[in-house]
Amino acid sequence: MEHDVNLAARDLPDDHRAGSILQRARTDPPPVVDEVAVTETPRSGWAVASAGAETVALDLELTHELRLAGLARDVIRTVQEARKSAGYEVTDRIELWWRVGGSPEPAEAIRMHATQVADEVLAVSLHEGAPEDETGMYSQTDDDLGLHLWMVRAE
């Protein structure tokens, strides 16, 4: 006689725990742990990969905070590319002005991660909005982010 029995991981010894357990036995009495077939069914929004006895599960949900952190990295990359295009030395400190149009998320990301952005691009100051006088400044726009940058070497 075949039995389908659902067991929770807590019902098994520590060395046999692995998420959801579907136990199939071919005998009338409940089978022993050695007769358990383990199948992994990831939760919605999770990715699971197994190799041998190792299993890794990743939560794939992108929270608002993760999106902002990613946007901050995109802003840093854009500023670094602008520094290079402007011919600045790797060690040059800059003053940076920025303005975002379109989606408000890049602006929120810059505000939330301002210290990280400034540290990584060697900005002595970050100014939201266009500068009053653009004379002698390097300017660049990133259409994907809706970001306009102005920079000048810091004195």
Same domain (yes/no): 79, 14:
no
Question: How much is the pLDDT for 43?
Answer: 75
Whether residue 26 is predicted with pLDDT greater than 80 in this model: the reply is: no
Lowest mean per-residue pLDDT among 28-32, 103-107, 151-155: 28-32
- DSSP assignment of 19-73: SSEEEEESSSSPPPGGGPBP---PPTTEEEEEETTEEEEEE----HHHHHHHHHH
Burial profile 73-100: b = 16 or more Cβ within 10 angstroms, e = fewer? eebbebbeebbeebebeeeeebbbbbbb
Q: Read off the pLDDT of residues 97-134 as tens digits, 9 standing for 90 and up.
A: 999 998 999 999 999 999 999 999 999 999 999 999 99
Same domain (yes/no): 145, 99:
yes
Based on the structure, what is the number of domains in the chain?
Answer: 2
Which of 24, 39, 59 is the last residue in one of the domains? 59
User: What is the three-class DSSP state of 92?
Assistant: coil
Mean pLDDT of 2-25: 48
Same domain (yes/no): 79, 146:
yes
Same domain (yes/no): 48, 68:
no
Same domain (yes/no): 80, 143:
yes
CA 45 to CA 63: how far, in whole Å? Answer: 12
Q: Look up the domain containing 32 and give its range.
A: 3-59
Same domain (yes/no): 84, 123:
yes
Same domain (yes/no): 73, 48:
no
Same domain (yes/no): 140, 82:
yes
